[in-house]
Amino acid sequence: MMISVVVPLYNEEENIDDLYARLTASLSALPHDYELILVDDGSIDATPALLEKVRLTDPRVKVINFRRNFGQTAAFAAGFDHAVGEVIITMDGDLQNDPDDIPKLLEMIRDNDIVSGWRKQRKDPFISRKLPSKIANWIISRVTGVPLHDYGCSLKAYRKNVVKNLRLYGEMHRFIPAVAKWYGVRVAEVETRHYPRLKGVSKYGISRTIRVILDLITVKFLLSFSTKPLQFFGPVGLLSSLSGFFISLYLTADKIIGGRDIGGRPLLLLGVLLIIVGVQFIGMGLLGEMMVRVYHESQNKPIYVIRRLNGIEAE
């Protein structure tokens, strides 16, 4: 079995030599071939030069240099695109993850398609990192229906065919297990070790939580409704329009039968608003339906995923 290890690096000059040494020690003890894909995410320190030095000493090291900083998700995506191993391992380049946990992941990947690390004893600041992350993990688990304790853990193992078909955007690398579940893959979790960052600085603050929540909305929407947007917008739109219609009907009756003035009543505004908003929602759903058709039919994208064909010739 061939293993590809993908590590994103953004201004990690102080960590590269240790990282390479630790990874090499853990990986060479395994009975597998491996490659190390180090992705320099547009670093502006000595990272690119140090990576090149490492690469020249070891043919198993491959380096991808981004033109500018595209972010961790993009770095993972580039690594996935160029990895040749049957199993792809991702981890952070700041040695907060432990390369010695890799065998544990490989053990579990035998019966699973994704194995996700769980930093049970996480060594990060509580208020700014651990607490928001706890809440985010709880929300993500509830919303996506894929319960994991630690979506944010970079140390994960994937089977090649899982990641080769994924398209990642935004902060989406953390949602791969949830997205992949849609494809029907088996996801497992193992406890992994975690260490405080000893060298260099963290690239993220609390603002990431907000971006993660926004990405969660995208993921949830795409997972549940990407092939049937009108099913999502339609009910809301209908409910809104109908309530607006009945409110207006009541006001009309009040005017004609009761002879009361309705021009200055707040209810009139509400009725009109509900009708307009409802029509907008239905319109949005219909536009969505058009886009779904354009998306799938122009690129011949199926709306299903097949595990295997039995007795049918694949073209």
Shortest Å distance, C-beta 137 to Mg ion: 17
Shortest Å distance, C-beta 92 to ligand UDP: 4
Binding positions for Mg ion, 70-109, rule CB under 5 A: 92, 94, 96
Site for ligand UDP contains 96 (CB under 6 A): yes
Binding positions for ligand UDP, 179-218, rule CB under 6 A: 202-204
Contact status, residue 283 vs residue 236, Cβ threshold 8 Å: no
Shortest Å distance, C-beta 201 to ligand UDP: 7
Q: Is 278 helix (H, G, I), strand (E, B) or coil?
A: helix
As a 3-state breakdown, the chain gives helix, strand, coil percent values, each rounded to 5, of 50, 15, 35
| H/E element, 158 | strand 156-159
Q: From the list 6, 8, 99, 137, which residue makes contact with ligand UDP (rule: CB under 6 A)? A: 8
CA distance 187 to 116: 7
Site for ligand UDP contains 171 (CB under 6 A): no
CA distance 251 to 22: 75
Site for ligand UDP contains 93 (CB under 6 A): yes
Contact status, residue 72 vs residue 13, Cβ threshold 8 Å: no
User: Angle at the Cα of 305 (from 304 to 311), degrees rounded to 5?
Assistant: 105
Of 195, 108, 208, 191, nearest to 157 (Cα)?
108
Q: Count other C-beta atoms under 10 Å from residue 216's C-beta.
A: 21
- Closer residue to ligand UDP in complex, CB, 14/113: 14
Contact status, residue 107 vs residue 170, Cβ threshold 8 Å: no
Q: From the list 6, 75, 83, 187, which residue makes contact with ligand UDP (rule: CB under 6 A)? A: 75
Shortest Å distance, C-beta 202 to Mg ion: 6
Site for ligand UDP contains 41 (CB under 6 A): yes
Shortest Å distance, C-beta 15 to ligand UDP: 8
Site for ligand UDP contains 132 (CB under 6 A): no
Among 57-65, 88-96, 165-173, 283-291, the segment contacting ligand UDP (CB under 6 A): 88-96
- Closer residue to ligand UDP in complex, CB, 95/219: 95
CA distance 227 to 302: 10
Contact status, residue 47 vs residue 199, Cβ threshold 8 Å: no
Shortest Å distance, C-beta 158 to ligand UDP: 17
Residues making contact with Mg ion (CB under 5 A): 92, 94, 96
Residues making contact with ligand UDP (CB under 6 A): 8-10, 12, 41, 69, 71-72, 75, 92-94, 96, 202-204
